[in-house]
A and B are shown apart, each in its own frame.
Chain A
Amino acid sequence: MSEMLTKLGIDWRLFIAQLVNFLILFGILRAFAWKPIIMALEDRRAKIKKGLHDAEKAKQQVKDLEKEREAVLSEARAEAMAIIEKADQKASALSQEKIQTTQNEIEKRMEEAKEQIKGERTASYNALKQDLAKLISSATGKIVESMDSKSHDALIESAIKDLSAE
């Protein structure tokens, strides 16, 4: 057995030496190469993942904001519409009222004017009546002078009756 190993070149001293060398190399590589590189890679990987996640989040946020803006805008539009409608209604009501009051005024004025006209007519008619009565009495006086007092009175009576009947 040991002869075979010797023929194959296996020597426990060499084996130990190579083993020690290899283990030292393993330790050095692990501490100085593999660990820092893997740490850097993993960190970078995590960072990239986080970046992607953040980007996705930002996108979602923008979308949400857009939606919100749209909602606010539509709400504002609706509100504006409502206000305009209200104003319209108010204006029409106001004008209606104005028209009403104007009409009323006109009617009132007309009434007044009619009243005045009526009053004036009555006054002028009264004056005319007096004048007429004077004229008639003076005219009739002339006639009556030539009449007896009886027929005279009867005549005056009937004349006054006629006048007031008119």
Chain B
Amino acid sequence: MLEISIAPEVVTTIAGFPVTNTILVMGVIFLITIVIAIIVKRRISVHKPATGVAGIMEFFVEVFLDFIDSITSDHRKSIRIFPIVATIFLIVLLSNLVELVPGLGSIGIWEFHGGETILVPFIRSMSADLNFTLVVAVFAMASVQVMGMRFLKVGPYLGKFFVAPWKKPFLIGTFVGLLEFMSEFSKILSFTFRLFGNIFAGEVLLAVMGFLSPFLAPLPFLFLELFVGFVQALVFATLTIVFLSMATTAHDHEEEHAPRADYSHATFGGKPGGVAAMNGQAPQS
């Protein structure tokens, strides 16, 4: 009989640590990503466009950077938030596409759980595991806070949330600030369950269709899930860009009091002098 479990199934236990099937898949994606990264590092060159995997990555970066530019409309800011957003997009996309891998939910080992034998599959999309979606959501929102503090400096950034009750809109401003502070946490939840819900639903849908009619019938749904997986990754990344863009932009009325932080000399990976210095040219004033 078809078994549907919200929690990822535990394949085996190593020294008390439950190794779930999503951890296994994460390991595979980990390896794939590292291989891609190493290939890119080796093949990328300033003088001519790369080919093969590195070329695909280069194309992806160019398109995605333009996409971020269209949202932030600030190229330097785009470059600074790019690693965060691109990592989220790539990993989420890869993990979403795992649900299309043949053998999902059907290849596994039989285990005894509470007196009955159930099939524990080896492959399960990481996005259908709340642990993983929560990790990505927490990472996204944490980086939003960090980037906000870096761009606006800590004081003005926190000033968005904590407004003294004796300031201009008085208690209303304080209340709105607290609401915004709460919404930062609710964003984590919405991120988590949006991705989980979509991909888990897709997995269940595919499993059910495959169970009911193994041939042809699941085909349209496979295409649908391919699309959904891409769209969900894009939605996750886009929302992160939007939140980052919002967090790194000062409030209108605050700009008079606290000038916007100067990020023309922003660091990328810790190198002083910003992107311009990284490229070996003087920053434009």
- Stretch of B101-109, B132-140, B242-250, B258-266 on the interface side: B132-140
Q: Does B272 contact A (CB under 8 A)?
A: no
A10 B131 Cβ-Cβ under 8 A: yes
B278 A33 Cβ-Cβ under 8 A: no
B136 A22 Cβ-Cβ under 8 A: yes
A29 B279 Cβ-Cβ under 8 A: no
Name the residue of chain A whose CB is nearest to the CB of B43. Answer: A36
Interface string of B99-136 (1 = CB under 8 A from A): 00000000000000000000000000010011110111
B44 A37 Cβ-Cβ under 8 A: yes
Q: Which of B5, B6, B7, B36 has the most CB of A within 10 A?
A: B7
Residues from chain B with a CB closer than 8 A to the CB of A46 are 279, 281
Residues from chain A with a CB closer than 8 A to the CB of B44 are 36-37, 40
Residues from chain A with a CB closer than 8 A to the CB of B36 are 33
Interface residue total, chain B, C-beta cutoff 8 A: 52
* A36/B131 contact (C-beta < 8 A), A7-B7, A14-B18, A14-B23 known: no
* A38/B65 contact (C-beta < 8 A), A19-B139, A26-B83, A29-B37 known: yes
Q: Does A11 contact B (CB under 8 A)?
A: yes
Residues from chain B with a CB closer than 8 A to the CB of A8 are 6-7, 130
A37 B40 Cβ-Cβ under 8 A: yes
Q: Does A23 contact B (CB under 8 A)?
A: yes
* A30/B269 contact (C-beta < 8 A), A15-B131, A22-B91 known: yes
Residues from chain A with a CB closer than 8 A to the CB of B215 are none
Interface string of A26-47 (1 = CB under 8 A from B): 1011111111111111111011
B7 A44 Cβ-Cβ under 8 A: no
Q: Does B163 contact A (CB under 8 A)?
A: no
> Chain B nearest CB: distance from A95 CB in Å?
73
A9 B79 Cβ-Cβ under 8 A: no
A42 to B7, CA, bound (A): 44
Q: Main SS of chain A's interface residues?
A: helix
Q: Does B208 contact A (CB under 8 A)?
A: no
A42 B275 Cβ-Cβ under 8 A: yes
Name the residue of chain B whose CB is nearest to the CB of A14. Answer: B131
Q: Does A93 contact B (CB under 8 A)?
A: no
Q: Does B33 contact A (CB under 8 A)?
A: yes
Q: Does B86 contact A (CB under 8 A)?
A: yes
User: Which of A6, A15, A40, A42 is in CB contact (< 8 Å) with B45?
Assistant: A40
Q: Does B224 contact A (CB under 8 A)?
A: no
B83 A30 Cβ-Cβ under 8 A: yes
B83 A19 Cβ-Cβ under 8 A: no
> Chain A nearest CB: distance from B218 CB in Å?
25
> Chain B nearest CB: distance from A68 CB in Å?
33
A13 B139 Cβ-Cβ under 8 A: no
> Chain B nearest CB: distance from A9 CB in Å?
3
Residues from chain A with a CB closer than 8 A to the CB of B87 are 25-26, 29-30, 34
A54 to B37, CA, bound (A): 35
Q: Does B82 contact A (CB under 8 A)?
A: yes
* A41/B7 contact (C-beta < 8 A), A14-B18, A29-B86, A32-B37 known: no
A–B Cβ pairs within 8 angstroms, 10 of them: A10-B134, A22-B91, A25-B33, A28-B37, A29-B86, A30-B83, A34-B61, A37-B57, A37-B61, A44-B46
**A-B CB proximity, top 3 nearest:** A9-B7, A32-B37, A30-B83
Known: A11-B18, A18-B132; 6 extra A-B contacts, CB below 8 A, are A13-B17, A14-B18, A19-B135, A33-B37, A34-B83, A41-B58
